[in-house]
Structure 1
């Protein structure tokens, strides 16, 4: 049976691909982009596809008027996909950047989800909440801790929310992509170089570049996004599945190994 799916952050990357793919699969999809230019560009890209089940809307989760309008839309699956990333050493990154990262990645989607869930519970809608987390929700690599911390927070929220909403028939799950080449990770890494200064910071720009290259400089850090999009199209509309969905498999294996290693690590 088709679902009606609202996916945020659908103006580009994995969100855009998943929105188009789910519409092609017969689901009603509201593809929400953060700004009017993004929404207009997405409409221009998708109109030739003639997907009658795909609707493009502007939704800036930091804009209370956008949020109020979105609360009037009818959907039974919410995919919290919108996010930003701040790179840089956590020992030196300016705190205003960390706060902004949490505002977009944690507080804004949580506030919107609370409104959606309240509406669903009052109407008896047995909906589904999908949080697009990250491999960074389960480990914190040097140079990317601010972003990883937001995804760790999402993991905690989703885990608790699953138990809280189960009595109301509302499902909660996460999707944890590996390092896919959408431009997001590269942009996040470059963000650090707008403030890192070798004359001010003890972390050099060269050291940061080495951190970036070690994480996303090789093939395992530049995966084909179409692979992840296919997984999202499979997982999001399904009424069955696992709570946590890490993809691809080698990333899941590596993360489990990492968790075990952290229990053994000495200081």
Structure 2
């Protein structure tokens, strides 16, 4: 049966591509974008593709009126996909940037989700909530700690929600992409250089830039996002599936090994 799916962060990257794919598969999509200038171009793209089941709205998570409006819409699946990332050493990053990253990636999606699931429960509706987490929700590489810690938080929230909402017939999942080449990770890496300064920080700009560039030059840092998009198109509307969905399989195996090794990690 076709479902109606609300997707946050559908203005670019995984969100946009998967939203279009989900609509092509016959589901009704409410694709939400962060800023107003993204609305009309995405509507035009949907029209060109002949997707009459593709609705585009603005949903800026930092705007309480946008959140309140979205909570009134009728849909079957809430896909919390929108996010933002801060990079750089956690021992030097300005704390206000850490707070802002948690606001966008954790607190505001939770606020949206609370209103949605409370409405579903009141109406005896059995919906589904999906969170875009990350491979970084399950391990922590240096200089990505702020961003991936928000994803660690989402993992805990999603796991709690799965248990708490199960009696009401509401399902919860996470999707954990590897380092696919969408531009998201690359621009996140750039964020550190707007505050990092050689004259005031111990970490030097050239050293940090080289570390990022070396990673993005590896095959693991430049994976084709089509694989992940195709998986999202199938996972998000599905009635059944795994709670945690790590893609690709090689990253799932790496994370399992990392978590096992954590028990013998020495200081």
Separation in 1, partners of 2:14, 2:35:
17
Where does residue 219 of structure 2 map in the other structure? Answer: 219
* 1:141 equivalenced with 2:141 (yes/no): yes
Give the alignment's TM-score, normalised by structure 2: 0.98
Where does residue 261 of structure 2 map in the other structure? Answer: 261
Where does residue 233 of structure 1 map in the other structure? Answer: 233
Where does residue 6 of structure 1 map in the other structure? Answer: 6
What's the secondary structure of 2:116's corresponding residue? helix
What's the secondary structure of 2:155's corresponding residue? helix
Q: Is the 8 A contact 1:133 1:155 kept in 2?
A: yes
Where does residue 164 of structure 2 map in the other structure? Answer: 164
Where does residue 39 of structure 1 map in the other structure? Answer: 39
Where does residue 113 of structure 2 map in the other structure? Answer: 113
RMSD of aligned Cα (Å): 0.9
- Give the deviation of 1:207 after TM superposition: 2.2
Q: Is the 8 A contact 1:86 1:98 kept in 2?
A: yes
Separation in 1, partners of 2:263, 2:227:
32
Per-residue CA deviations over 1:137-167 (Å, capped at 9, x if unaligned) read 0011111110001000000000011000000
Separation in 1, partners of 2:215, 2:16:
25
- Give the deviation of 1:214 after TM superposition: 4.3
Separation in 1, partners of 2:261, 2:204:
28
Separation in 2, partners of 1:114, 1:44:
32
Separation in 1, partners of 2:114, 2:70:
13
Aligned residue pairs, count: 267
What's the secondary structure of 1:207's corresponding residue? helix
* 1:19 equivalenced with 2:19 (yes/no): yes
Q: Is the 8 A contact 1:161 1:172 kept in 2?
A: yes
Q: Is the 8 A contact 1:90 1:145 kept in 2?
A: yes
Runs of 4 or more consecutive aligned structure 1 residues displaced over 2 Å after TM superposition:
213-217
Separation in 1, partners of 2:226, 2:44:
21
Where does residue 102 of structure 1 map in the other structure? Answer: 102
Where does residue 62 of structure 1 map in the other structure? Answer: 62
Structure 1 gaps of 5+ residues are: none
- Give the deviation of 1:109 after TM superposition: 0.2
Q: Is the 8 A contact 2:46 2:52 kept in 1?
A: no
Separation in 2, partners of 1:236, 1:42:
20
Q: Is the 8 A contact 2:130 2:236 kept in 1?
A: yes
Q: Is the 8 A contact 2:83 2:105 kept in 1?
A: yes
